[in-house]
Amino acid sequence: MSLSEEKKSILITGGAGFIGSNFVHHWCQNNLNNKVIVLDALTYAGNPENLAGLDDRQNFKFIQGDICDRPLIDNLLKEEHITTVAHFAAESHVDRSILGPDAFIQTNVIGTFTLLESFRHYWNGKKQPENYRFLHVSTDEVYGSLEADDPAFTETTPYAPNSPYSASKAGSDHLARAYYHTYNVPTIITNCSNNYGPYHFPEKLIPLMCINILLGKPLPVYGDGQNVRDWLYVGDHCSALETVINQGKPGETYNIGGNNEVKNLDLVILLCDLMDELAPNLPVKPAKQLITFVKDRPGHDRRYAIDATKIKTELGWSPEETVENGLRKTIKWYLNNRDWWQPLLSKEYQDYYLKVYNQ
């Protein structure tokens, strides 16, 4: 029986966050007989509403808790007979890491170490079953910044993180790699490009622009707007991660990209045009009148680009969504789910917004 056919009991850390919750929905839809345990600390970006509709599912359990809580992790692995860990839990916003880096070190480095140590002892106690997996979900930002004509990041690109966020993720990647090479723990690392889609916390670029357009507020664009990102629709990312869990080799790293390099300003203009088309009764139209250039982010990486050749050739995965199709789906979701995002525009969020953009 292959790993993909065998019934799994999966622990998904950070499963109430953006990518994590999308993966929870994806996994539940495609693996009906699996036990799914979601662990999330429910900090500002973790939202139980992201998991709405799953409470009644057989073999589903949500636990509020911290990945740094070793006794909790030990008990979960043992009591739930976990065979797979999908580790999403992380502090993930560059701007927040600039304002307060300590939380990033605690969660991303210490938290990942705690999970790895717990999983190592649990796996050893089970006599090292070959079908167990520890998937560590990371970012392309660990590779640093590219110039306009540099080749895209591959799995062998040297690490050169430029923000406290990317440095903390680089540290966690190195730990996951070390646990395979030192202890033979079956870790797999994935490094993805910028995700977008449903359940995305409003401070990130695409939901921020969508919501500000709906509210008639300025659209803050850093610097000259020429920074380039590769955009990956979150549904594509989830299918890639499922493929890696089922077919990936322990000790390997797989880059996951959308094959969609776009300058930030061009992306915001496209968003404006799509919002003009899809959103009725906008307070300001055309929406691109709201574009406002603001002081650049400190240490702002100029370009990210992912070469996803390895995952395509070795595992047969490639993305399906173009940027325009993915943005259409995303905009429609935000238009249809005001009750989800409106409560997130709290005083804490507004205070943070003022600090970052001085708006």
Q: What is the pLDDT of residues 75-101, one digit of tens each?
A: 999 999 999 999 999 987 677 878 888
E-strand spans in the chain? 9-13, 35-40, 60-64, 84-87, 133-139, 187-192, 194-196, 219-222, 228-233, 253-256, 261-263, 291-294
Looking at residues 41-57, what average pLDDT do you find? 90
Mean pLDDT over the full length of the chain: 93
Find out whether 38 and 12 touch, Cβ atoms under 8 Å. Answer: yes
The per-residue pLDDT for 202 is: 87
Which sequence spans correspond to the domains of the chain? Answer: 9-200+231-260+303-322
Output the DSSP codes for 112-165.
Answer: HHHHHHHHHHHHHHTT--TT-EEEEEEEGGGG----TTSPPB-TTSPP---SHH
Q: pLDDT band for position 207 (50/70/90)?
A: very high
Instruction: Find the mean pLDDT for residues 231-260.
Output: 97
Catalytic residue among 66, 141, 203, 301: 141
φ, ψ for residue 106 (rounded to 5)? -60, -50
Catalytic residue among 122, 132, 165, 233: 165
What are the tens digits of pLDDT across the range 102-152?
Answer: 889 999 999 999 999 999 999 999 999 999 999 999 999 999 999 999 999
pLDDT of the residue at 299: 79
Model pTM?
Answer: 0.94
Distance CA 156, CA 307 (A): 11
Looking at the predicted structure, is the pLDDT value of residue 1 above 60?
Answer: no
Q: What would the mean pLDDT of 350-357 be, rounded to a whole number?
A: 76
With b for 16 or more beta-carbon neighbours within 10 A and e for fewer, the 305-344 pattern comes to bbbbebbbeebebbbebebeebbebbbebbeeeeebbeeb
Of 203 and 311, the structure prediction assigns the larger pLDDT to 311
pLDDT of residue 91: 86
Pair type for strands 228-233 and 261-263: antiparallel
Q: Report the pLDDT averaged over residues 200-220.
A: 93
Pairing assessment for the beta strands 194-196 and 228-233 based on DSSP bridges: parallel
Per the annotation, the verdict on 165 as an active-site residue is: yes
- Average pLDDT of span 14-43: 96
pLDDT at 349 over 80: no
What would be the CATH architecture of the domain defined by 9-200+231-260+303-322?
3-Layer(aba) Sandwich (3.40)
- Residue 159: pLDDT band with limits 50, 70, 90: very high
Active site residue 196: no
**What's the pLDDT score for residue 4?**
44
pLDDT of residue 5: 42
What integer pLDDT is reported at residue 297 of this predicted model? 82
Q: What whole-number distance in Å separates Cα of residue 331 and Cα of residue 316?
A: 29
Please say if 149 is a catalytic residue.
Answer: no
**What pLDDT score does 307 carry?**
97
